[in-house]
Amino acid sequence: MKTIGLLGGMSWQSTALYYRLINEETNRRLGGLHSAQIAMVSVDFQEVETHQRNGDWRRAGEALAASATQVEAAGAEMLLLCTNTMHKVADEIENAISIPFLHIADATAERIRQAGLTSIGLLGTQFTMEQDFYRGRLEQHGLKVFVPGAADREIVHRVIYEELCQGTIREDSRSEFVRIIKDLKSVGAEGVIQGCTEIVMLVDSMHTNVPLFDTTAIHAHAAVDAALE
């Protein structure tokens, strides 16, 4: 098995999900006492969030690129960036390493196409929902992407940073997310991407009949696919 590299900490709650999902899937496939070979660097999310808030994506990219080289130096044979939003600086990270970079939007788009869908809703941080680095990547795979209206984008963004990234789960926030998902379906989305790695902590298939695409699980399983090739 190849060694999977994880660049995490954004937030640590979702990175913990990555670690668990990758090991569970590895054991499911190989059985016995097998677990995944993983090299990981986990960064301080406060520093990353400050760069996000200040719009200083250059410094954010430089910092994560440096951390990515640490993951490679630790023996990783591929790299996963354990966050959707920071794929905004994916090019900087990919240029800093010599190992394959598994892009979360590519893995997600492939799963959606396998499901036979072509129109998809996108939930995530405002950066992810509003900027082209993620939506554009999905559209390159032939998908039509819908996002919530401005007021609902603010709600989703606030819940992610003020609640989910701190491990807080609120029923009223879950109700709002379920409503927003329903609204996306009403305008033509055949399914919805949980395009922030923390959203799965709040909403899953038991809360809505709209097909959900959990980017954390999709990305984690894609890593196991690549590691066991």
6-55: pLDDT as tens digits: 999 999 998 999 999 999 999 999 999 999 999 999 999 999 999 999 99
Record the tokens describing residue 49, joined without a space.
């969030």
* 91 close to 204: Cβ distance less than 8 angstroms: no
Q: Torsions phi, psi of 101, nearest 5?
A: -110, 120
List pLDDT tens digits, range 90-132: 999 999 999 999 999 999 999 999 999 999 999 999 999 999 9
User: Residue 45: helix, strand or coil by DSSP?
Assistant: helix
The residue count for the chain: 229
**Do both 41 and 136 map to the same domain?**
no
**Do both 117 and 85 map to the same domain?**
no
**Do both 144 and 117 map to the same domain?**
yes
Sign of CA dihedral 174, 175, 179, 182: positive
The CATH number given to whatever domain includes residue 136 is 3.40.50.1860
**Do both 19 and 83 map to the same domain?**
yes
Rounded CA gap, 18 and 11, in Å? 11
Residue-number span of the structural domain to which 19 is assigned: 4-103+217-227
**Do both 109 and 85 map to the same domain?**
no
**Do both 127 and 171 map to the same domain?**
yes
**Do both 209 and 222 map to the same domain?**
no
**Do both 121 and 210 map to the same domain?**
yes
- Active site positions, annotated: 83, 196
Tokens 């301080």, residue located: 44
Closest CA relative to residue 19, chosen from 204, 202, 219: 219
pLDDT-derived band at 171 (thresholds 50, 70, 90) equals very high
Query: If you ran DSSP here, which 8-state letter would residue 2 be given?
Result: P
**Do both 149 and 92 map to the same domain?**
no
**Do both 57 and 121 map to the same domain?**
no
Predicted TM-score (pTM) of this structure: 0.92
Tokens 């923390």, residue located: 198
Average pLDDT in the 158-181 region?
96
pLDDT at residue 197 above 90?
no
Rounded CA gap, 108 and 207, in Å? 21
User: Residue 76: helix, strand or coil by DSSP?
Assistant: coil
Rounded CA gap, 195 and 193, in Å? 5
Q: Which amino acid is at 77?
A: E
pLDDT-derived band at 152 (thresholds 50, 70, 90) equals very high
Tokens 């809703």, residue located: 121
User: Residue 90: helix, strand or coil by DSSP?
Assistant: helix
Rounded CA gap, 114 and 13, in Å? 28
